[in-house]
Structures are given as structure tokens and as C-alpha cells.
């Protein structure tokens, strides 16, 4: 009769490696949450658009400066123009380079509807890169 071997089989050793699968799962969930919430945070409405404590943006290689004074008068590089003349120049500019950046400087008292009209002229011309220029906030430490 045989009762088994005299040699003892070694027991399996406990696993000493860290299981990273749960960690990866949690991190992927956090990344998905960040991806979903980031656009919501960036689209918050600011009511004080004429003043900003943001740093000065880098000057684009090709840009045009449009202005609106308090009365709603349209300016092209500080020269007053009618809306029809401005639209014609924007179409010419878009024909040369559709990636030209439009930098809009609007007075704080300009009605929002007038700003939208000027933006509409630029978009109808085919210019989609539009930026709003703002003055630094008074007493801003970053502006010094």
C-alpha cells in the first residue's frame, strides 16, 4: 500500500505583485469625467468682457483689427468704414487667406446685437478665427 510520496510538494507562494487593474480602471473613469466636464467649465458666461486679467495673447502672423466705438461705428485698423465697405474688405481678405484672425475691439457700451452683426460680416466672408480684445483690469498685478 502506498500512502503517497514522502516528498512534500511546495505550496504555491503568495503573490507579491501589486494588481494595478483596479487602479487603471479608476484612473480611466477620472479621465472620462475630466473630458466631459472640461468643455462645460470653459463655456461659462463672463459679464465683464471689456476688462480681462488674462495675459496678452501672442500676435497672429496674419490678423486684421476691427473696432466698434460706443456709437456702433465700424472701424478697420482705426479707419471708419460703412458696413458694406467693411464686408467688401473682409471678403477680399478671406479670398487671400481664410485663416486670417479677426481681432474685434468693441467698446463696453456697444449693444451686443451690434457686435453680433460685425461677427456675422466676418463669418459670411469666410473668416472663422475671431478673437475679442480686452483691456487689463485696473489694479491687476499681472498687467504690471
Task: Express each pLDDT in 71-100 by its tens digit.
Answer: 888 888 878 889 899 899 999 998 988 888
How, if at all, do strands 101-106 and 129-132 pair?
Answer: parallel
Helical (H) or strand (E) element with 105: strand 101-106
What is the rounded average pLDDT of the residues 29-51? Answer: 68
CA–CA gap between residue 102 and residue 50 (Å, rounded): 17
CA–CA gap between residue 101 and residue 60 (Å, rounded): 7
What is the rounded average pLDDT of the residues 16-32? Answer: 90
> Are the C-beta atoms of residues 28 and 80 closer than 8 Å to each other?
no
**What is the model's pTM?**
0.53
Going from the N-terminus, what domains does the chain have, and what CATH number goes with each? 62-138 (3.30.420.270)
> Are the C-beta atoms of residues 117 and 83 closer than 8 Å to each other?
yes
Amino acid at each position: 500500500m502506498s500512502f503517497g510520496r514522502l516528498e512534500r510538494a511546495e505550496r504555491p507562494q503568495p503573490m507579491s505583485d501589486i494588481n494595478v487593474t483596479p487602479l487603471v480602471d479608476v484612473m480611466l473613469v477620472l479621465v472620462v469625467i475630466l473630458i466631459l466636464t472640461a468643455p462645460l467649465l470653459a463655456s461659462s458666461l463672463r459679464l465683464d468682457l471689456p476688462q480681462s486679467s488674462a495675459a496678452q495673447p501672442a500676435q497672429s502672423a496674419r490678423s486684421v483689427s476691427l473696432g466698434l466705438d460706443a456709437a456702433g461705428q465700424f472701424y478697420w485698423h482705426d479707419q471708419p468704414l460703412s458696413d458694406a465697405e467693411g464686408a467688401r474688405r473682409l471678403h477680399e481678405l478671406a479670398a487671400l487667406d481664410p485663416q486670417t484672425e479677426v481681432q474685434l475691439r468693441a467698446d463696453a457700451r456697444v449693444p451686443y446685437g451690434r457686435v453680433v452683426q460685425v461677427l456675422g460680416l466676418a463669418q459670411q466672408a469666410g473668416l472663422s478665427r475671431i478673437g475679442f480684445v480686452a483691456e487689463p483690469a485696473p489694479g491687476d498685478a499681472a498687467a504690471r
